[in-house]
């Protein structure tokens, strides 16, 4: 099993040879309802500068293409075994097994698999390719005041690409939102802000030590960026509500106060769920939050009331 390290900002991975003018995208989610107003298309950029333990999109972390496996789809044709140049795939009585420590993501197995039981996650796309997909749903944006949201991973790991993408959408009259962790150099954030209509920003913890425990980075840069962003663009704050981590009354009050200070338009509470846990083994990883139960409805309601007491609009996400 492999460990995942947060990506250094804007460092091109050695496994990333075709980065010229292309962005590494791991999903373009149409009909997205929780990443800003209306019906949206969310473009998920691959690679993250954080490594949150509860991450429900573990395939978003690495800044390179990698394989994901789906055992139920395997038809047992063994084409992957033949294709693997280092012999890291074998068939046993338990079915196909992958030696994850040896796998170097050459992607040959995904290329030959006929049934998508091994898929490559991450796709290098040009701005025009992404924009075309975004434009497909223009009529839905117009009817619902929706638009495009760029998310991640951390979208700003690929800030040059993201800037061009936002600019192109702005030119085409499509509403733009940036969903960011805020963990990026200010100049990268500033470079995209002029093309962003709305920023969605996570605050995971107000205590920097705790922040580091949960996400592997400290929070000073993030909070500072949030203040600066709020002066320039509309901002919504999002709190992933993680039991026994950031759900204490004290922390919630600090977040709400912060949101209120920077005049955030809205606070979204995203209660922890484990829907992403099944993706970890598909990537050859271990889910770090195994056994954690989602917060109760009562707990979520308490959080809502606490935040509302600061005069903030609260939305409970899913």
Contacting positions for another protein (CB under 8 A): 29-34, 38-39, 75, 77, 79, 114-116, 136-137, 139-140, 143-144, 146, 315, 318
How far, in Å, CA of 209 to CA of 215, rounded?
A: 10
Is the Cα dihedral 146, 148, 154, 160 positive or negative?
A: negative
Query: In the bound complex, what is the minimum distance in angstroms from residue 163's beta carbon to another protein?
Result: 26
Comparing CB distances to another protein, the nearer of 32 and 277 is 32
Cβ-count burial of 290 within 10 angstroms (0-12 exposed, 13-18 middle, 19+ buried)? exposed
How far, in Å, CA of 56 to CA of 34, rounded?
A: 15
Comparing CB distances to another protein, the nearer of 19 and 56 is 56
Query: In the bound complex, what is the minimum distance in angstroms from residue 75's beta carbon to another protein?
Result: 5
How far, in Å, CA of 170 to CA of 205, rounded?
A: 32
Residues 6+ apart with CB under 8 A from 100: 1, 2, 284
Asked if 169 and 133 touch (Cβ cutoff 8 Å), the reply is no
Comparing CB distances to another protein, the nearer of 33 and 233 is 33
Query: In the bound complex, what is the minimum distance in angstroms from residue 217's beta carbon to another protein?
Result: 26
Query: In the bound complex, what is the minimum distance in angstroms from residue 219's beta carbon to another protein?
Result: 27
How far, in Å, CA of 13 to CA of 11, rounded?
A: 6
Asked if 208 and 172 touch (Cβ cutoff 8 Å), the reply is no
Comparing CB distances to another protein, the nearer of 143 and 248 is 143
Task: Please list, residue by residue across 108-123, b when 16 or more beta carbons sit within 10 angstroms of its beta carbon and e when fewer do.
Answer: bbbeebeeebbbbbbb
Comparing CB distances to another protein, the nearer of 31 and 91 is 31
Owner of token pair 């903030």: 312
Query: In the bound complex, what is the minimum distance in angstroms from residue 40's beta carbon to another protein?
Result: 10
Query: In the bound complex, what is the minimum distance in angstroms from residue 98's beta carbon to another protein?
Result: 19
Q: Is the peptide bond before 192 cis (omega within 30 degrees of 0)?
A: no
Asked if 38 and 141 touch (Cβ cutoff 8 Å), the reply is yes
Comparing CB distances to another protein, the nearer of 210 and 316 is 316
**Using alpha carbons only, what angle is made at residue 73 by residues 71 and 76, rounded to the nearest 5 degrees?**
80
> 42 forms bridges with which residues in the sheet?
29, 149
Query: In the bound complex, what is the minimum distance in angstroms from residue 80's beta carbon to another protein?
Result: 12
Comparing CB distances to another protein, the nearer of 104 and 313 is 313
Comparing CB distances to another protein, the nearer of 107 and 189 is 107
Query: In the bound complex, what is the minimum distance in angstroms from residue 39's beta carbon to another protein?
Result: 6
């Amino acid at each position: 099993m492999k460990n995942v390290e947060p990506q250094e900002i804007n460092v091109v991975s050695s496994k990333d040879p075709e980065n010229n003018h292309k962005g590494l995208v791991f999903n373009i989610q149409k009909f997205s309802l929780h990443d800003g107003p209306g019906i949206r298309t969310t473009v998920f950029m691959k690679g993250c500068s954080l490594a949150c333990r509860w991450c429900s999109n573990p395939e978003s972390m690495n800044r390179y293409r990698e394989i994901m496996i789906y055992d139920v789809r395997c038809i047992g044709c063994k084409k992957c075994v033949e294709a693997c140049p280092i012999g890291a795939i074998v068939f046993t009585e338990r079915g196909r097994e992958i030696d994850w420590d040896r796998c170097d993501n050459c992607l040959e197995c995904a290329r030959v698999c006929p049934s998508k039981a091994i898929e490559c996650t991450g796709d290098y796309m040009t701005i025009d390719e992404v924009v075309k997909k975004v434009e497909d749903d223009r009529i839905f944006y117009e009817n619902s005041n929706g638009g495009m949201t760029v998310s991640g991973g951390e979208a700003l790991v690929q800030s040059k690409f993201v800037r061009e993408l936002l600019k192109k959408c702005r030119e085409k009259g499509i509403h733009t939102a940036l969903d960011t962790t805020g963990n990026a150099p200010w100049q990268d954030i500033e470079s995209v802000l002029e093309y962003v209509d709305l920023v969605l920003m996570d605050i995971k913890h107000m205590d920097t030590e705790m922040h580091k425990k949960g996400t592997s980075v400290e929070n000073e840069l993030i909070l500072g960026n949030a203040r600066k962003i709020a002066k320039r663009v509309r901002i919504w704050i999002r709190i992933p509500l993680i039991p026994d981590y950031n759900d204490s009354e004290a922390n919630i009050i600090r977040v709400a106060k912060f949101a209120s200070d920077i005049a955030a338009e809205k606070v979204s509470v995203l209660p922890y769920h484990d829907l992403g846990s099944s993706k970890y083994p598909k990537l050859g990883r271990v889910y770090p939050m195994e056994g954690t139960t989602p917060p109760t409805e009562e707990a979520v309601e308490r959080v809502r009331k606490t935040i509302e007491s600061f005069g903030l609009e609260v939305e409970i996400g899913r």
